[in-house]
Amino acid sequence: MMAPAARKFRRIACIALILLFCALAAVFAHASDAPNLLLNPDLTRGAANRPEHWRSEAWVSSPEAFAGGWTRGSEGRHGEVEVANLKPNDARLIQSLALSPGWYHVTADIRTEQVGTAETGATVSILEDSIMSADVNSNSDWTSVGFYLHVGDLGANVDVALRLGGYGSLNTGRAFFRNPSVARVSTPPAGATPVYDLTTIREQSAPKPLGSPWSLVLTFASLAAVAAWGWCTFLRTTREVACEAAQRASHNRRADRKKRRR
Question: What 3 state SS string does 91-154 have?
Answer: EEEEEEEEECCEEEEEEEEEEEEEECCCCCCEEEEECCCCEECCCECEEEEEEEEEEEEEECCC
Q: State yes or no: pLDDT of 190 exceeds 70.
A: yes
Q: Give the lowest-confidence range in 8-22, 64-78, 94-108, 150-164.
A: 8-22
Give the pLDDT mean for 189-202: 96
Strands 138-151 and 195-197: parallel
Does residue 74 or residue 140 have the better pLDDT? 140
> Count of residues for the chain?
262
Dihedral sign for Cα 187, 190, 195, 197, please: positive
pLDDT tens track for 51-64:
999 999 999 999 99
Whether residue 35 is predicted with pLDDT greater than 80 in this model: the reply is yes
Instruction: Lowest mean pLDDT of 26-30, 138-142, 184-188, 209-213, name the range.
Output: 26-30
* This prediction's pTM: 0.69
Give the pLDDT band of residue 248 (cuts 50, 70, 90).
confident
Residue 195: per-residue pLDDT: 98
Cα 75–54–130 angle (5° rounding)? 120
Count of CB atoms within 10 A of residue 65's CB?
A: 18
Rounded average pLDDT over 104-131 = 97
Averaged pLDDT for residues 179-206: 95
Task: Report pLDDT for 172.
Answer: 98
Contact 151, 104 (CB under 8 A): yes
Cα 187 to Cα 26, 30, 124, 190, distances in angstroms: 20, 17, 20, 9
Name which residue leads in pLDDT, 31 or 144.
144
pLDDT tens column, 215-235? 666 666 778 777 777 777 777
